[in-house]
Structure 1
Amino acid sequence: MRNDKAATMADIARKAGVSPMTVSRAFKSNSLISKDTREAILKVAEDLGYVFDSTASNLRAQKTDFIAVTIPSINNANFADTVGGLSETLNPRGFQILLGYTNYDVEEEERLIEQLLRRKPQAIVVTGGKHTARARKLLENTSVPVIETWDVPAEPIGHFVGFSNAQAVRSMVDHFVSVGYRRIAFIGGDASRDTRGSDRRLGFIAALRDHGLDASRLINGGTPPISMREGANAMARLLTEYPDSEAVICVSDLSAFGALTECQRRGVPVPERMAIGGFGDYEIGAISVPALTTINAGARLIGERTGQLILDILDDVQNVRDVTIEPQLIVRESSR
């Protein structure tokens, strides 16, 4: 039968033969009580089915045990890897992740930032370095550490762990040009929503112009995130609007995979007739036929380095430095 009366610290104290204060201390990782006493108390708590409620303790101490994080997409493998790396780095210290999902909407990011900061996290991690004016003000005025990720902001609010999306795409343009492609296109999404995708598009344009090549072959795949289906639709438009194109760089591996399948559907050989490059080094790009040339942005590493940066800041480590990640170009069968 279910026991409707939950066990209390007083119950544990009576059974363990200690004071309620000692029980309270046993649930704190920095407790000064002996190991044997702590283990005995925790054993009694487990026998009674007691669950420690840290809320009141945290409110008294004006501290919480969570890190607030905003990401654009919950089904994007790259962002999942970043959150995984962050969580694995923070978990040993007892920190948990409170996740907010912006759906590539800066207005939604603003709302989430306000909601998350009200809960007094130990730090807040946001994706990207471009925000609404109000979101930026909220982040500038908070007393907790702010870390911007997946970008190198022109004006960092606090700290950042990321890379230049424009420079990352430039490395692929340089590769395509070096092996002989000249009529190169870009497939991306609505630049007003996906700021990192917009930076990749700008990097593509700047790199082509630096090579003295036409940078006008730009296909808008729609509202981010750009899916495989939208990548296929964008490739169909590219083949219609710019039929002499030799290569295309896509904003992500998912859109690149869609572009690849559209080429296969139309009997366009890859890379003999059309070279394709993606971004993100997703698993699907590595096992597709042909495998996709891509850029590995170090998604998990971003999470791990962000977690360590947070711990260093909270531990008052001196000379904490921002972290610039170096994305890696991975050349596979989808390009020469």
Structure 2
Amino acid sequence: MSSSRSSRASGRVTLQDVAREAGVSPITASRALRGTRGVHAELVERSLAAAQRLGYVPDPAARALASSRSTQVAVLVPLLSNTLFVDVLDAVQRTLLPAGFQTLIGVTHYDAAEEEQLLRSFLPHRPAGLLVTGFDRTETARRLIQDSGVPTVHLMELTSAPGIHSVGFSQAAAGRALTEHLLRSGRRRIAYAAAQLDPRVLQRAEGYRQALRAAGLYDPALEWLSPAPSSIELGGVLLEQGLQRHPEVDAIFFCNDDLAQGALLKALRLGVAVPSRLAVAGFNDLPGSPQMLPALTTVRTRRREMGLAAADMMLASIRGEPVAQPSVDLGFELVIRESA
């Protein structure tokens, strides 16, 4: 007869209870619930059904102790208020969870010291893996990651350095492509308006410079850079102040869509015709950009694909499997709409 009672005095349902309910050995039940390869599909189905019937919740500490490894993957991102990182995290979790791993999220707020503090907090617990954003960090943080021996994947940027795993795209190439589109459309006084000024924003700026220098049109006075957090409100401020100082500007490349969305709203209030008088472009193709009036021209980044590829690479590293492509370039897509 099936029993839903725990063998523990606490009443907690144990793995042994699940194994008895499913009619399998505890080791088979454990492997089935972890998503380990090599377990017969019928046994996996029986184990999962038994766990669901009994309301079994794995004990992460006990599992780590028994297997000498953690079931947590630490993920460090700059912000959770940015759709860009939320989309990546969602894809990462949807890949790792069925494989038996949980995500432990740390938010760095674009602060190198805060990232270092999070690494000092997470790494002593020996997570199964580590996902970090980009390559710009303190030398101490780099040493902490290297010395930990924890499999690590870098997001958003690429490197060809041996032994380093990365998934992303060339931020500079994307910035150059968007600027070249503005040039092809006949714009000659193109400004770059940016906020937050993290490394990826500055790499896009370098792509902008490359395109304008090649055309003989680069003017450093048209780089409007603010260290403030990116927002719709700031986008409107940058547009209004920039046009007051440089009324000859005929296009603005905003480093992020929220800035560009704010600029379009401000242009509407100021009576600045877009795109006939002023072209406006953004970056990341965030929600709402296709619905703007006019619809926003931008660069679409493959955020979901980035999370999926990074999680797959992480799982292979955790399992000791060879990673066929340690640097995965997902590219980008120029999305041309009405605003530029």
Same fold (TM over 0.5): yes
Pair 1:219 & 2:224 matched? yes
The one-character-per-residue Cα deviations of 1:62-99 (angstroms, maximum 9, x if unpaired) are 21112111111102111111112222222221222111
Q: Give the TM-score of the pair, scaled to structure 2.
A: 0.86
| Number of residue pairs aligned between Structure 1 and Structure 2 | 327
1:195, distance to aligned residue in structure 2 (A): 1.2
Partner residue in 1 for 2:313:
309
Instruction: Quote the sequence identity (%).
Output: 30
The residue that corresponds to 2:289 in the other structure is 285
- Residue 73 of structure 2 aligns to a residue in which SS? strand
Deviation per CA, 1:87-119, whole angstroms, max 9, x where unpaired? 222222122211111111122111112222122
**Distance apart, 1:312 and its partner CA:** 2.3
* Cα distance change, pair 269–24 in 1 and its aligned pair in 2 (3 A): same
Q: Work out whether residues 185 and 249 of structure 1, in 8 Å CA contact, stay in contact via their aligned partners in 2.
A: yes
Runs (5+) with no aligned partner, structure 2: 1-8
Distance 1:34 1:175, change over 3 A: closer
Q: Deviations over 1:300-319 (max 9, x none)?
A: 11111111111222333335
The one of 91, 94, 99 aligned to 2:97: 91
The answer (yes or no) to whether the contact 2:16–2:26 under 8 Å persists in 1 is no
Identify the residue that residue 122 of structure 1 maps to in structure 2. Answer: 128
8 A Cα contact 1:85 1:304, kept in partner: yes
Structure 2 CA distance for aligned equivalents of residues 205 and 115 of structure 1: 39
- Within 1, Cα distance between the matches of 2:136 and 2:270? 39
Which residue pairs with 2:83 in the alignment? 77
Counterpart in the other structure of 2:174: 168
Whichever residue aligns with residue 172 of structure 1, its letter is L
- Paired residue type of 1:205: R
State the alpha-carbon separation in 1 of the partners of residues 96 and 285 from structure 2. Answer: 25
Matched, 1:323 2:328: yes
Please say which of residues 101-110 and 274-283 is displaced more in the overlay: 101-110
User: Which residue number corresponds to residue 29 of structure 2?
Assistant: 26
Secondary structure at the counterpart of residue 282 of structure 1: coil
1:186 aligned partner:
192
Range that drifts further, 149-158 or 314-323: 149-158
Distance 2:48 2:267 in 1: 65
Determine the C-alpha separation between the residues in 1 that align with 2:162 and 2:146.
Answer: 10
Change in 2 beyond 3 A, CA 1:157/1:16 = closer
Conserved 8 A contact 1:128-1:153: no
Unaligned runs of 5+ in 1: none
Calculate the TM-score normalised by the size of structure 1: 0.87
In structure 2, the partner of 1:104 is 110
Instruction: Report the CA distance between 1:28 and its aligned residue.
Output: 3.6
The one-character-per-residue Cα deviations of 1:17-62 (angstroms, maximum 9, x if unpaired) are: 99xx94565344259799679948974x666655332312312322
Asked if the contact 2:18–2:47 (Cα under 8 Å) also holds between the matched residues in 1, the reply is: no
Residue 86 of structure 1 aligns to a residue whose secondary structure is helix
Bigger mean CA deviation after superposition, 272-281 or 320-329: 320-329
Q: Secondary structure at the match of 2:167?
A: strand
1-side partners of 2:12 and 2:31: how far apart? 18
Say whether the 8 Å CA contact 1:7–1:48 is kept in structure 2. no
Compared CA separation, residues 154 and 204, structure 1 to 2 (3 A): farther
* Counterpart-to-counterpart distance in 2, 1:228 and 1:41: 46
Partner letter of residue 220 of structure 1? L
User: 2:120 is aligned with what amino acid?
Assistant: E
Give, in whole Å, the separation in 2 of the partners of 1:243 and 1:13: 71
The answer to whether the 8 A contact 2:280-2:296 is kept is yes
**Cα distance change on mapping 1:107 and 1:154 into 2, 3 Å:** farther
Q: Tell me the residue number matched to 1:228.
A: 232
Q: Which moved more, 1:160-169 or 1:34-43?
A: 34-43
1:113-141 per-position Cα deviation (integer Å, ceiling 9, x unaligned): 22221221111111112111111111122
DSSP 3-state at the match of 2:187: coil
Distance 1:262 1:128, change over 3 A: same
Q: Name the SS of the counterpart of 1:283 in structure 2.
A: coil
The alignment partner of 1:98 has SS state of strand
Equivalent residues in 2 for 1:32-71, closer than 5 Å: 39=46, 43=50, 50-71=56-77
Tell me the distance in 1 between the aligned counterparts of 2:297 and 2:69. 46
